Amino acid sequence: MSKKPAKGEYIETDTGNKVSRKCQIIGTTNIILGGKTVIQAEVIIRGDLLRSVPSSSSSINPSPNDKQQSAVAVAIGRYCFFSRGCALRPPGRSTKGVFSHYPLKISDHVFVGPGSVIEAAILGSHVHIGAGVVVGKFAIIKDYVKVLDGAIIPANMVIPSFSIVGGRPARIVGEIAEGEVDGFDLRDLWRSIGNN
């Protein structure tokens, strides 16, 4: 490691991703980035936590695409923003005594605040997760949800659309108003991030 990066902080990819040189992405081949996503410094993405149990043996009916699907540990959509020090970990559990991880799917326009840990199964689109949040294993967060700072979302929790959740354990504390819906768009935020 050089003392000071000569170039800017972010590596900009062809698809418009802005990835900090100081982030930790493990198992890059198992991670899909939809494009125009910002990954800040000290972010950890665990692409290495791959599904070890073939999905054909589980209750889900097998399909020819299985091999391709099972090679994805973390799938991220467009215009997502991962703030400094947050961690994305595919969730894991034992089934019949065999432990396996399962994919973590993140849709578009998802903001994850600094220091938050995400072990969800699905984060819908237009989700705002505050700072220092823990999203427990296999949680499902639907579209247009705001998670307040410091919330702990228990494992397996389902959060319906247009919810504001907070607290430990997290519970629904409010509703997203009609006029707040547009505020979840992260295109401006993506534009504002750069090397200069």
Q: Which residues bind other proteins (CB under 8 A)?
A: 58-59, 93-97, 136-138, 142-144, 152, 154-163, 169, 171-172, 177-183, 191
Residue 67 identity (one-letter amino acid): K
Q: Cβ closer to other proteins: 46 or 137?
A: 137
Shortest distance, CB of residue 173 to other proteins, whole angstroms? 12
- Comparing CA positions, the residue from 85, 155, 91 lying closest to residue 114 is 85
- Specify the DSSP class assigned to residue 182: G
Smallest distance, other proteins to C-beta of residue 51, A: 15
Residue 17 half-sphere exposure toward CB, CA atoms < 13 A: 16
Closest approach, Cβ 154 to other proteins, in A, equals 4
Confirm if 101 and 137 have CB atoms less than 8 A apart.
no
**Least distance to other proteins from the beta carbon of 23, Å?**
26
- Decide whether 23 or 133 has the Cβ nearer to other proteins: 133
Contact partners, residue 179, CB within 8 Å, separation at least 6: none
Q: Considering beta carbons, is residue 21 or 187 the nearer one to other proteins?
A: 187
Strand partners, 134: 117, 152
